[in-house]
Amino acid sequence: MRLDVMCLGCGKILENDDGKLLCKDELSHLVGVGEKTFRCVRCDQELIAPTEDMLCYDCWQRVKKGEVFLKDSQAIFFYRGVGRELYQLAKFEGNKRALLDIQQRAREVLQKRDFFPEVDVVTLVPSHWYTLLRRGYSPVEWFWSPWFPNVVRDVLVRRWTAKNQKKLRREERLRMVRDQFIVKRKDLVVGKRVLVLDDVYTTGSTLEEVARVLRLAGAQSVQARVIFRD
Ligand SMILES: [Zn+2]
Ligand SMILES: [Zn+2]
């Protein structure tokens, strides 16, 4: 007996059960960053109109204040709609199959983009050990594994997790994020161009802090690549 597997989005029966959750139509709604709009050169934020330096307001403020440690951060998709739902399934309900759909669409989107920079070390924003234990796996590492099978895991250590940063005021956010990360393996980053992988870029506070500690530890440059831009 064969069980029919339905598309999670529209309920249509999926023709071949290859582990995916969505039909092709549904998956095409996952829109890649930069397919249609102008975007900030530092963080992939959508710009309504092009600006002189092609920076969004947040990045422009950071640059003005000299708080710039991250060279740039690029995202594959915007964090909305079906992509967001799939990723939340993977992250909060441990559904790894949801990541297969995102990966498939990511391959298509990235074919048309010059996305991966030349670097010396690839690492990721680590989860707190307790978060990892609770989830049983790292969705970030799992997602990026086809592109980076040998990501260096133990460059950084996360001492705690700052929640719901979007709801905090800027000063509170900075305080929550500050000193959250420790560079455990300075020897791996001194003089190196480092690429940091993560899942969602929301305010940029986390990646900016990661970049700050890596640069302090002697990294030559720090860039980020994320699955989603919120
Ligand atoms: Zn469907
Ligand atoms: Zn920006």
Cα–ligand 1 centroid distance for 80 (angstroms): 17
In the chain, which ranges are continuous DSSP H helix?
24-27, 57-65, 81-92, 97-111, 129-135, 139-144, 170-177, 205-216
pTM: 0.89
Ligand that lies nearest to the alpha carbon of residue 13, given by its number in the listed order = 1
Cα–ligand 1 centroid distance for 162 (angstroms): 35
Ligand that lies nearest to the alpha carbon of residue 44, given by its number in the listed order = 2
- Domains, the chain, in order of start with CATH, read 24-229 (3.40.50)
Residues 104-153 have pLDDT tens digits of: 999 999 998 889 999 999 999 998 888 888 888 999 999 999 999 989 99
**Whole-angstrom distance, CA of residue 71 vs CA of residue 222:** 6
Strands 46-47 and 38-39 come out as antiparallel
Q: What residues flank ion ligand 2 with Cβ within 5 A? A: 40, 42-43, 45, 56, 59
Residues 29-80 have pLDDT tens digits of: 787 887 667 889 999 998 888 888 899 999 999 999 888 899 999 999 999 8
Cα–ligand 2 centroid distance for 127 (angstroms): 24
